[in-house]
């Protein structure tokens, strides 16, 4: 319940305060969001499987976001940014699908 409230609060804050990211970081926000989604579904899967710990969750969330952005940043520096960001999105997408499949099995046994 609280996580859902937190999500709603985040959305409302984003709408009300209209925060802006520094221009230099803006290209990495989409990748960071995809990485955060991956961490989120992974955490929910772990919760359903009973192996959830908040410390692991927070650390994995932060590190996922950071690593995803870092990879894309490095790619930008060496001139393969768009290819690397595509690769990161593909990998994270596969992981998200795997996690959601596990969540589905745990919730609906199907």
Partner 1 sequence: MAERRVRSRRIAALARSRARLTGDEGTERTDAAGEPTDRGAAGAPRPGVWRRIGRAALHPGRSQVAAAVVLCLLGMAGVMQIRANDSDDAYSNARREDLVQILDGLGVESRRLESEVAELQGTRERLQSGADSQRVAREDAQQRVDELAILAGTAPAQGPGIRMRISDPQDKVGADVVLDAVEEMRDAGAEVIEIDGQARVVGSTWFSDDGTGLLVDGIAVARPLTITVIGDPHSLEEAARFRGGIVSEITGPKIGGDVQIDQGDASW
- Residues of the shown chain interacting with partner 1 in the complex, contacts defined by CB under 8 A: 1-11, 13-15, 18-21, 23, 26-27, 29-30, 32-33, 36-37, 39-40, 43, 48-54, 57-58, 61, 76, 79, 81-82, 106-107, 109
Distance of closest approach, residue 97 Cβ to partner 1, in angstroms: 19
Distance of closest approach, residue 83 Cβ to partner 1, in angstroms: 10
Classified as helix, coil or strand, 51 is: coil
Distance of closest approach, residue 91 Cβ to partner 1, in angstroms: 19
Please say which residue, 3 or 94, places its beta carbon nearer to partner 1.
Answer: 3
Q: C-alpha 20: how far from its chain's center?
A: 19
What is the DSSP track for 62-104?
HHHHHHHHHHHHHHHHHT-HHHHHHHHHHHHHHHHHHHHHHHH
Classified as helix, coil or strand, 8 is: helix
């Amino acid at each position: 319940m609280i996580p859902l409230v937190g999500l709603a609060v985040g959305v409302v804050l984003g709408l009300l305060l209209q925060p802006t990211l520094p221009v230099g970081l803006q290209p990495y926000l989409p990748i960071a969001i995809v990485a955060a989604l991956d961490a989120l579904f992974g955490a929910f899967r772990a919760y359903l499987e009973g192996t959830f710990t908040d410390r692991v969750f927070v650390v994995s969330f932060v590190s996922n976001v950071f690593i995803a952005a870092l990879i894309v940043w490095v790619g930008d520096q060496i001139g393969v940014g768009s290819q690397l960001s595509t690769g990161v999105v593909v990998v994270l997408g596969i992981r998200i699908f795997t996690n959601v499949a596990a969540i589905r099995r745990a919730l609906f046994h199907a």
